[in-house]
């Protein structure tokens, strides 16, 4: 039976794994890591959204990835945000300047979205990208 306390707990290897040359395997683990505590700052304001499209690939966010989004986090210049523009959801990088607000793609095939007359609402700030390998 899985308790609420251990539902997000995953064993942690006691050593780092080199990405270069192989090293001798270690057959032991060094405790556990609760993924909820590690990935989520505030459960009450956090949700997960699945990305579709390729406009954020330059930021390492691909179609099918899932973003852990915190609605309580303050959107700042450079934040990756989930925004609602004229009633449509989008994931973009927030660009704040004296000339105004823009939502920037991380793919040169997509132009910046200038927010002028458009209605903009920031739904939350992306904190973590879950990307399958």
Three-state DSSP class for residue 39? helix
10 pLDDT band, cuts 50/70/90, is: low
Instruction: Show which residues are catalytic.
Output: 55, 92
CA nearest 47: which of 63, 20, 75, 67? Answer: 67
Q: Which residue has the higher pLDDT, 6 or 87?
A: 87
128 pLDDT band, cuts 50/70/90, is: very high
Distance CA 2, CA 40 (A): 20
Give the CA dihedral 74, 78, 83, 86, nearest 10 degrees: 120
Q: Please, are residues 56 and 91 in contact by the beta-carbon 8 Å criterion?
A: yes
% of the chain at pLDDT higher than 90 = 53
């Amino acid at each position: 039976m899985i308790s609420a306390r251990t539902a997000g707990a995953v064993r942690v290897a006691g050593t780092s794994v080199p990405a270069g040359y192989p090293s001798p395997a270690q057959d032991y683990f060094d405790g556990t890591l609760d993924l909820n505590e590690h990935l989520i700052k505030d459960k009450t304001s956090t949700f997960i959204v699945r990305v579709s499209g390729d406009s954020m690939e330059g930021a390492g966010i691909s179609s099918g990835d899932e973003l852990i989004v915190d609605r309580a986090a303050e959107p700042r210049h450079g934040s990756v945000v989930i925004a609602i523009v004229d009633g449509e959801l989008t994931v973009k990088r927030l660009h704040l300047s004296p000339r105004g607000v823009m939502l920037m793609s991380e793919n040169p095939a997509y132009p910046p979205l200038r927010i002028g007359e458009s209605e903009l609402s920031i739904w939350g700030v992306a904190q973590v990208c879950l990307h399958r390998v």
